[in-house]
Amino acid sequence: MSFLEQIINTKKEEIKNLHNRYSLSFFEEQEFFHSSTLSLVGSLFESKRLGLIAEIKKASPSKGILRADFNHAEIAKIYMNNKVNAISVLTDSKYFKGSIEYLKEIAKFKTVPLLRKDFIIDEYQIFEAKASGADVVLLIGEALSAEQSDSLIAAASECNLEILYEIHSPAQLDKIDFDKIKLIGINNRNLDTFEVDIRTTRLIADMLPEGTVAISESGINTPDDIKIISHPKVKGLLVGEYFMKSEDIDKTLKQFINILEETNNEN
């Protein structure tokens, strides 16, 4: 059993509990469910530099606790003050030490789109995301069949949520309906081996149809990394661990944004 399969099996048990505790109508009755959403695609196209989705992640399965003095609300405020294009919030509790409560609390003062990052395999998670203040949900192609993808895309549309559809290899391209999905996350980390190769971004971006917006994810830390992933279809980066492990997130973030602006000027 691969590690991804292990996570999905855990998620199936969590979803059983979700079904037992709530109905879809419960989520529809929550305040955030009827709030207007902020567009990640719009934020990326309005940006004068390469877009940045900054991630809030306390831990990872491979590296353990990333930040001992973790305060999700304070980190979110730093990100917003530095005008990132969006914030990714890990909500998986067992493997990433996240929480849906983090998303709810940050949504109360959000000024940028919020991405719920989790292993989403059931429409209840989509409705829960909207009810918790998300604007975007992550779907991981490796974890879904084409039929599951279609069902979750329909649920997201019903909830007025954008979708970031993540793949880590060209083998996942065939299951994507590009008439419905325009925002593709290219994960440079192989989900089977956990090895990172940032050249994956350019490899897959070359295969995407025109009109697709790509986000490069994982392993991006330096100006050289940013140059390697540079591609006309790549409109943004998702960066988490690099900020989470910093002693001074605000300082590190400012430096990173300066690099993005300088790189943009060079291009």
Going residue by residue through the chain, which has 267 residues, state the pLDDT in tens, using 9 for 90 and above. 688 888 999 999 999 999 999 999 999 999 899 999 999 999 999 998 999 999 999 998 888 999 999 999 999 999 999 999 999 999 999 999 999 999 999 999 999 999 999 999 999 999 999 999 999 999 999 999 989 999 999 999 999 999 999 999 999 998 899 999 999 999 998 777 778 899 999 999 999 999 999 999 998 888 889 989 999 999 999 999 999 999 999 999 999 999 998 877 665
Distance between CA 73 and CA 56 in Å, rounded?
A: 9
* pLDDT score of 175: 86
Position 265 scores a pLDDT of: 61
Which H or E element spans position 161? none
CA 128 to chain centre: 16
Neighbour-count burial for 199-236, b at 16+ CB within 10 Å, e otherwise: ebbbebbeebeeebbbbbbbbbeeeebbebbbbebbbb
What pTM did the predictor assign?
A: 0.95
Q: In total, how many domains does the chain have?
A: 1
Query: Domain of 9: which CATH number?
Result: 3.20.20.70
Q: Note down the domain range covering 254.
A: 3-266
Non-local (6+) Cβ contacts of 171 within 8 A are none
The amino acid occupying position 148 is: Q
The set of catalytic residues is 55, 57, 117, 166, 187, 217-218
